[in-house]
Amino acid sequence: MTSESAAAAAQPTVYGYPRQGRHRELKKAIEGYWKGRVDADGLRTAAAGLRRANWQQLAGAGIHEVPTGDFSYYDHVLDTTVMVGAIPDRHRAAVDADALDGYFAMARGTQDVAPLEMTKWFDTNYHYLVPELGPDTVFTADSTKQVAELTEALALGLTARPVLVGPVTYLLLAKPAPGVAPDFEPLTLLDRLLPVYAEVLADLRAAGAGWVQLDEPALVQDRTAAELDAAARAYRDLGALTDRPRLLVASYFDRLGDALPVLAKAPVDGLALDFTEAAAANLDALAAVGGLPGKRLVAGVVNGRNIWVNDLEKSLSVLGTLLGLAGRVDVAASCSLLHVPLDAAAERDIEPQILRWLAFARQKTAEVVTLAKGLAQGRDTITAELAANRADLASRAASPITHDPAVRARAAAVTEADARRFPPYGERASAQRHHLGLPLLPTTTIGSFPQTAELRTARADLRSGRIDTAGYEERVKAEIREVISFQEKAGLDVLVHGEAERNDMVQYFAEQLTGYLATQHGWVQSYGTRYVRPPILAGDISRPEPMTVRWTTYAQSLTSRPVKGMLTGPVTMLAWSFVRDDQPLGDTARQVALALRDEVNDLEAAGTSVIQVDEPALRETLPLRSADRPAYLAWATESFRLSTSGVRPDTQIHTHMCYAEFGDIVQAIDDLDADVISLEAARSHMQVARELAAHGYPREAGPGVYDIHSPRVPSAEEAAGLLRTGLRAIPAERLWVNPDCGLKTRGWPETRASLENLVSAARTVRGELPAS
């Protein structure tokens, strides 16, 4: 096929779409099912309606080939675990008894059975359920979901392409099951898994699939020769099948590197590659291997992870270059649109000109369609769209929002000494012990307490004008009083005010900082039914006035025990926002850090002795390629220290991280120079405590003993067992006792019981320590 015919054949497509519905109907239906208000048929009907609406919207917008199988009740990796029959033994009976309830038990756990571990999906804020595999794992195919959703789409008269997690990525994401040797490598199960994929592919072909997409994002990470050989073997075998649809192997989030020639040589029918800025090297690499003659190339030129309008001229230039490198070039977003909100047009509170800078899933779909039209029919057919796009890009570049001279001057004046805390930790630790007077194994929580229906109603009443600000603040104070009272009665040592006034740990601060924009409907799935509204970091950042001091000091006035000040760190403020792409991330992080430094100093001046600056996103934002990591970690750790280094030695600085793989950033954790770090550890059985010990981490740490993402209440003995495990790695004088994460999503009954058990466990284990 010539480049001209490749262009003429160009079609628009996407890899996935937001699942929740315009008004988060999926969240409401699932939580209604959990609470018994919606039956299984009602949930299935609601889900089918959302899938149908998504497909019809995509087709109506001009998408040629809609994705199926990307929809999920909880997580698409968990769906893959079901598809290949890798059900953990402890959940087998529940799944056999009721597939839907068993599915949710794997995700959330029950009072008697722990859920699967949860961690971040590559460098995004989406969480997946980690497969648990071992040498005795038996795979069996169950294509029920995949076939059913394909059949639904075909019945609507649509061209549909099922999307599956690829076998190599599935195994590389897996962990050894409990009781399996920790050095077991799930990838050794590949030959056992491939026949199951072959069976699923045959089922999908029989159901009418012309193409099936196999997602292999794990191949954009650094991979060993053995792992690349496994990928080559996997797609040699799958490509050689006779009873299969055409195969499209997709990667995204970064450049493929050494994996690109492996996939280019594989006997598959097409590749889907990321050609956005983060993965621009894919273009040269594709040319270097001779392209994909006679094959389909799906070019991800629209950023599927950020919300800024595409530079259409630049994307058309890339697409034009690609025309000579493949038999057919189609146009897509760089990854699933799961990672962006649904529709920018729903935002009524953003100034119209600024709104034109933004592209959510529906707008990105339109960009993909426009680019495919321009590629297939010529630029003359999209003249109006190109002119409007140039105007929008120019408007953003010239806006005063994006350039505050005072902010830039302050950031430029920062010195290395500003990001160093003095004196060294050993001297600070002694001063803090004297000042705080805490026992061994001090107990605390991570920050938030349950956001009750009454709180949410009060917030809605304030927005609608049914109550005034004074009435709302009285309700918040009442909640703080309840939270402080409970913690005192439960016996916690370092208290929190519970964050009753906060809608979200990033949005709350974003709404009080210049340079940020807030959305009303910009919901994005974080995990399961947990959705967040990431703010939009559009311009230079400063703090007009204190953000948290009044609430923290009010809480401290209610108790003689220390109350932690609670802030969100600069890296997380970037990672959990849609961040500006017109300057280096490190420059933006420094601006946020200086705003937070002012808040930290004001908290200390108001009498706060313990200040926690959360950085749960430090690991998730880690570049996927090791060569890119040192530069990132340099500005990320500097920005944290810049936030926290202006306080006295006896002020204790905490940080918190959760639901990520910490082993490869232990040095960075050390470089933060926080006095205390709390980390998720309950589902991973204190793995992080062992990693800290192996590194020789010298400061205090609180590996979590209470998994807050499950409704189950851990017993006092269970928590004590985890503490004893922690003590084998971290000495008692440096070990804290806390949950994995904040308690915002939990209910009060389970929170009370769990924290009471946590305190009881600490007292029990404290009593077992040898007398000093």
DSSP letters along 395-410, please? HHHH-GGG--HHHHHH
* pLDDT tens-digit readout, 634-648: 999 999 999 999 999
pTM of the full structure: 0.91
Angstrom CA distances, 227 to 181, 282, 437, stand at 20, 20, 52
Please say whether the beta carbons of 52 and 17 come within 8 A: no
What single DSSP character describes residue 9? T
C-alpha of 381 from chain center: 38
What single DSSP character describes residue 683? T
Long-range contacts of residues 99-105, Cβ cutoff 8 Å, at least 24 apart: 100/40, 100/43, 100/73, 103/73, 103/74, 103/78, 104/34, 104/73, 104/74
Catalytic residues: 709
Query: Cβ-count burial of 415 within 10 angstroms (0-12 exposed, 13-18 middle, 19+ buried)?
Result: exposed
Question: For position 684, what pLDDT does the model report?
Answer: 79
SS3 of 479-544: HHHHHHHHHHHHCCCCECCECCCCCCCCHHHHCCCEEEECCCCCCEEEECCEEECCCEEEEEEECC
The residues near 619 (Cβ < 8 Å, ≥ 6 apart) are: 120, 657, 660, 661, 662, 664, 665
Instruction: Tell me which residue has tokens 């971040």.
Output: 120
Angstrom CA distances, 470 to 461, 476, 504, 556, 769, stand at 12, 10, 21, 20, 49
| Low-confidence spans in the chain with pLDDT less than 50 | 1
Angstrom CA distances, 461 to 193, 448, 456, 513, stand at 53, 22, 9, 24
SS3 of 104-148: HHHHHCCCCCCCCCEEECCCCCCEEECCEECCCCCCCCCCHHHHH
Question: For position 721, what pLDDT does the model report?
Answer: 96
Please say whether the beta carbons of 274 and 251 come within 8 A: yes
Q: Which tokens go with 404?
A: 């505050």
The amino acid at residue 193 is: L
Instruction: Tell me which residue has tokens 């709104």.
Output: 355
Give the C-alpha separation, 524 to 534, whole Å: 7
What does the chain come to in residues?
Answer: 772
Q: Which tokens go with 754?
A: 């769990």
- Nearest Cα neighbor of 600 from 509, 666, 665, 735 is 509
Q: With both helix axes pointing from N to C terminus, report the angle between 40-61 and 25-34 in degrees, rounded to the nearest 10.
A: 170
Q: Which tokens go with 428?
A: 């600070």
Q: From its phi and psi, is residue 24 left (phi > 0), alpha (psi between -120 and 50) or beta?
A: left
Residue ranges with strand state E in 259-380 = 270-274, 292-302, 326-333
- Helix or strand run (H / E) with residue 248: strand 246-250
Give the C-alpha separation, 217 to 429, whole Å: 43
Question: For position 3, what pLDDT does the model report?
Answer: 57
Please say whether the beta carbons of 312 and 371 come within 8 A: yes
- Nearest Cα neighbor of 392 from 430, 355, 357 is 357
- Nearest Cα neighbor of 633 from 622, 620, 645, 644 is 622
Q: If you average pLDDT over every residue of the chain, what do you get?
A: 95
Give the C-alpha separation, 450 to 187, whole Å: 40
The residues near 23 (Cβ < 8 Å, ≥ 6 apart) are: none
Question: For position 7, what pLDDT does the model report?
Answer: 60
Give the C-alpha separation, 493 to 766, whole Å: 13
Q: Which tokens go with 299?
A: 């070019």
Instruction: Tell me which residue has tokens 């205390």.
Output: 676
Question: For position 705, what pLDDT does the model report?
Answer: 93
Omega before 739 cis (within 30°)?
A: no
What is the spatial order of strands in the sheet that 536-542 belongs to? 514-517, 536-542, 578-579
